[in-house]
Chain A
Amino acid sequence: MTDDQRYRIDREHPIGGEMSEVLLGLLRRLRLSNLLRHHSSVPLLALFSFVNGCLSIALMAIAALVSGAPFVFPSLGPTAFLCFYTPTAPAAAPRNTITGHLIGATMGWLCLQVFGLATAKPALVEGVSWERVLASALSLGLTGGLMVLLRVPHPPAGATTLIVSLGLLPHLWQLGVLMLAVALLVLQAVVINRLAGLAYPLWAPPKAAEPKQGAALGP
Chain B
Amino acid sequence: MSERRPSVFGDRYQPDVTGDRPPPPGRQALLLAALCVGLLLMGVQLWLLTIALDLYLGGAGGRIWLLALISGVVFVGGLLALWLLSRQPRRVD
Residue numbers of A with Cβ under 8 A of B are: 30, 32-35, 37-38, 47, 51, 62, 65-66, 68
Contact = CB atoms under 8 A, between A and B. Distances in A.
12 contacts: A30-B50, A32-B54, A33-B58, A34-B55, A35-B53, A35-B57, A38-B57, A47-B53, A51-B46, A65-B7, A65-B8, A66-B35
B50 A35 contact: yes
Given A65-B8, A68-B17, A34 B46 contact: no
Q: Which of B8, B35, B57 has the most CB of A within 10 A?
A: B57
A34 B57 contact: yes
Contacts, number: 28
B57 A37 contact: yes
Interface residues of B, number: 16
For the complex, would chain B's binding face be called helix, strand, loop or mixed by DSSP majority?
A: helix
B1 to A, nearest CB: 15
Given A47-B53, A68-B5, 12 more contacts: A30-B50, A32-B51, A33-B54, A34-B55, A34-B57, A34-B58, A35-B53, A38-B57, A62-B35, A62-B39, A65-B7, A68-B17
Contacts of A34: 54-58
Nearest to B7: A65
Contacts of A35: 50, 53-54, 57
A59 to B, nearest CB: 9
B69 interface: no
B84 interface: no
Q: Which A-B residue pairs are the 7 nearest by beta carbons?
A: A34-B58, A34-B57, A32-B54, A34-B54, A35-B54, A38-B57, A35-B57
Contacts of B8: 65
Contacts of B66: none
A18 B83 CA distance: 42
Nearest to B51: A32
Contacts of A62: 35, 39
A82 to B, nearest CB: 23
A37 B7 CA distance: 42
A40 B3 CA distance: 48
Interface string B56-89: 1110000000000000000000000000000000
Nearest to B46: A51
Contacts of A68: 5, 17
